[in-house]
Amino acid sequence: MLKIRAHHFLCMQGFQGYGYNEEFVENMGKVIKYINSKENLNITLLDSCDDICTPCTNNKGGKCVDSNKVNVMDEKVLKKLNLKSGEVVSAAKLFSLVNKKINTKNSAAEICGTCSWHKECLWFSKLKD
């Protein structure tokens, strides 16, 4: 079962090939493709390094060196979705909840406004003000 941190359910929808290094980009693409190919796929939701983070240059021994920023993003997503780290939820439900409860630029900016990729994020750019 895949383990995915909460804020990555925003990132995966806006991903277009940018990342921390080539391995991260390749891995993110594979994870997205896998999730999209599996109907009713269950995911373990996390608020820490996950299966996407594995090749990230900020992942040092399973801990994110940028944890202050990304942990807050995860906490905000979990709170908005009324979920907890460790819960097992279908990917389809997670994407649906994200798009239902975080559906404006303002609500997304509260979570990912400090993200270095939000200006390139297709999901963020499609949101209305």
Residue 96's domain spans which residues?
2-126
> Is 88:42 a contact under the CB 8 Å cutoff?
yes
Crossing angle of the two packed helices 67-81 and 105-112, in degrees rounded to 10: 140
- What percent of the chain is modeled with pLDDT above 90? 81
User: What integer pLDDT is reported at residue 90 of this predicted model?
Assistant: 97
CA 81 centroid distance within chain: 13
Pairing state between β 42-46 and 2-5: parallel
Total-model pTM = 0.93
